[in-house]
Amino acid sequence: MTDVSASILTTADGKPLKAALAASQARARRKAFMLVAPLFLFVVITFVIPIGQMLFQSVYNDTFSATAPALRQWFDENPPGTEPDEAAYAALVSDLRLMREERSAGAAGTRINYDISGTRSMFTGMARKADKLEPPYKEAVLAEDKKWDNPDVWRAMRSASSPFTIDFYLAALDMTRDETGSIVGVKEGQAVYKMLFGRTLFLSALITVMCMALAFPIAHMLATLPMAKSNLLMILVLLPFWTSLLVRTTSWMVLLQSQGVVNDFLVWAGIVGDDGRIQMMYNQIGTVVAMTHILLPFMVLPLYSVMRTIPPSYVRAARSLGATSWTAFRRIYLPQTLPGIGAGALLVFILAVGYYITPALVGGADGQLISNLIAFHMQKSLNWSLAAALAALLLGGILILYWLYDRLVGIDNMKLG
């Protein structure tokens, strides 16, 4: 009988070769993990966790529910559409007294004020008088302030009585709930978010197309010039990255304003009269012009990286076989640049959708994007849940765009450099 142990391969120190290889691979994996661990932790802390908190904030707000337990119980026991009775007003008075003790009436009123403007003062004012209210509470409350009989106020309180809600997403889509809890559109003239989302997508697409039209000949020239001249001109493409974004934006403000350089030149050349200066600031024109200039390098670089690898002999071969210049470009050269076009378009569009500083400075009311309204709710109105819902919808739209690009073109075919 053959001795099996004698046929097992071993290392110089007598260990089985298979076990030694497994241990070596395990050590290599541990070293690789330790090398990427700092980057992994950085991404988790600065990217994954903030986005997770944002998504959670968009569906969770306990500012009102935590300070109104009696009202929350009454809403749980009575279906939507139930008219507030004496028990409902008794629960309201009980919660107002609790809010006064905990000094939370302002915060609770602010939560309802997100839906019904002017309700913060109702809560703070009634909380100061809550200890003096006697049964019947409905008559006592309405005697102090008739606004508490408004069905919209009770509808808003019912919606806010649960810490988990989709109402901020409804508001971000210009929808709300009626007295019965059904989802309906907001009143005509109050819809603003859909319009801003549409404007953001339209202007971002327009900026992407303009960047593509300007970047294609630039990248083609850089790719066909000798390397020495190409590297010299590439400095001009990269030069904006060495200048502050704020400086570049304010420079466009100097150029585009009514008394700016561009209008002064047009008047000097006789193209327009002094009383017919073109308004290019604080509108969509200023936003498109400034953002096209700022985002142009992000289109040039992917195109250049792809065009540099295309052999010029391909086009010359097509010409020698009888193809015209247009046919050679359309059927030979252009298809090979599609990975760069796709990468540049995706990169510019995503950056344009989320831009904030440039539209805020040069866009005015007509040229601002959805990102400016998100910043408003974060900094001014302090409605962080609505800001998170708007940001989540914007993020979802970008992910859908990324998915469509992957399905139609393929992420593997994208080349950024």
Q: Which residues contact 306 (CB under 8 A, 6 or more apart)?
A: 336, 337, 339, 340, 415
Q: How confident is the model at residue 1 (pLDDT cuts 50, 70, 90)?
A: very low
Instruction: List pLDDT tens digits, range 151-177.
Output: 989 999 999 999 999 999 999 999 988
d(CA 350, CA 242): 22
What pLDDT score does 4 carry? 47
Instruction: Check if the beta carbon of residue 281 is closer than 8 Å to that of residue 364.
Output: yes
Q: Which fold has domain 193-413?
A: MetI-like fold (1.10.3720)
Which residue do the tokens 């801003």 mark? 196
Please give the C-alpha separations between residue 279 and each of 39, 68, 257, 275, 369, in angstroms, as whole numbers. Answer: 47, 52, 7, 11, 19
> CA–CA separation, 187 vs 176, rounded Å?
9
Q: What percent of the chain has pLDDT over 90?
A: 49
User: pLDDT by residue (tens digit) across 262-276?
Assistant: 889 889 888 888 888
Up-side HSE of residue 256: CA atoms within 13 Å toward CB? 21
Domain boundaries, the chain: 5-57, 69-185, 193-413
Q: How far apart are CA 299 and CA 213, in angstroms?
A: 10
User: Residue 394 has what DSSP assignment?
Assistant: H
Mean pLDDT, the chain, integer = 88
Q: Which residue has the tokens 């030694």?
A: 20
